[in-house]
Amino acid sequence: MSKKIYDVVCLRPEADFLKVGVTPPEELSIIYIAPDDEKLNELVNQAQAIVMPAVGPKLDSNLFKDSAVRLVQVTGAGVDRLDQTAMEEFGIAVANVAGGSNSALAEYAVACALTLHRRLAWADREIRSGNYAAVRQNMIFNNLQGLVGLTVGVVGLGNIGLAVAKAFKSMGCELIYFDPASPNSSDADEIGALSVSLNKLLEVSDVVTLHVPLLKETLNLISVNELELMKKEAVLINASRGGVVDEAALATSLTKGDLGGVAIDVYSDEPPTASNPLLLLEGEASQRILFTPHIAGVTRQAWAYLFETAWNNVVRVLKRSEPALNRVY
């Protein structure tokens, strides 16, 4: 008896789709499998499409060599799990879903800025320890800032960065941005965001929020020299990719008390190892950092949009023989 050949190998559980109300297309034969399953090579070799999350370990390009795969559909924006050169050589289309997490990321950035500037997480911990009166007195004495009137520097003004900028604008913030790929943006002009150099942005911003891809040019974009330019009360938010920020330099900066607070959603290694310098912070420095597990763009609404759009694209390619939408390469 011959083995069944599937149209699609999906590298995330079916439950992920169902719990947000998205039913994978019935006209496709789909197998759901973990990326470390020993059967993966055999299944991919015969399938026409792969559906995979944007986040996770890199996939070995040999997995796709001499396979029948026509499309790799990522259920998010990032495609850095794949080897672009190899995929182009094999003639396999790679498509993503751009913009689906914009609102979720904007909500995350604003929430982190508020939490850190107003020290809400610290207050919660202290009150649970029985220090209500001292905490209230401290917070009033320190005259903690809200967001109105603060300068927010957005690094990377693509779809996500623009959504984040608009969210801060609605909170009454002044906007500046740095984006070498798009130094002049009509979208930025519409919301009154001024293009500046990275150094200038770091020097004057009360909130710095990062939204650039991880490329050779952006690796350790924020390191020792850049952190030294920032205001002592400034907040840094990284919801882009872990390698954009030099984690050791950031840990040193926090230990020295050079930043008001940091929100970290992404790490150079995911999951972060026990030796990650940010996880080793102690005392006051450890109280000025907010960790989340790469979920800035994850909400029920965002996932529903991402998943529905991804499956529609797979059907478009496999069942209607039409070119993939949102093709990255």
Q: Is 12 a catalytic residue?
A: no
Burial class (CB in 10 A: 0-12, 13-18, 19+), 219: middle
Output the CA torsion 72→74→77→81 (10° steps).
-70
CA pair distance 126, 132, nearest whole angstrom: 7
Buried b (16+ CB within 10 A) or exposed e, 93-117: bbbbbbbbbbbbbbbbbbbbbbbbb
CA pair distance 73, 70, nearest whole angstrom: 10
Q: Is 294 a catalytic residue?
A: yes
Q: Are 261 and 117 a contacting pair, CB within 8 Å?
A: yes
- φ and ψ at 66, to 5 degrees? 60, 20
Read off the tokens for 278: 């940010």
Q: Of the listed 119, 288, 294, 308, which one is catalytic? A: 294
- φ and ψ at 327, to 5 degrees? -70, 125
Burial class (CB in 10 A: 0-12, 13-18, 19+), 159: middle
Contacts of 35 (CB under 8 A, 6+ apart): 11, 52, 56, 57, 59
Q: Of the listed 107, 233, 270, 316, which one is catalytic? A: 270
Q: Of the listed 211, 241, 247, 308, which one is catalytic? A: 241
Q: Are 54 and 74 a contacting pair, CB within 8 Å?
A: yes
Which ranges in 132-197 belong to alpha helices (H)?
132-141, 159-170, 186-190
Calculate the CA 167 to chain-centre distance: 17
Q: Is 88 a catalytic residue?
A: no
Q: Are 104 and 302 a contacting pair, CB within 8 Å?
A: yes
- HEC string for 272-292: CCCCCCCCCCCHHHHCCEEEC
Catalytic residues: 241, 270, 294
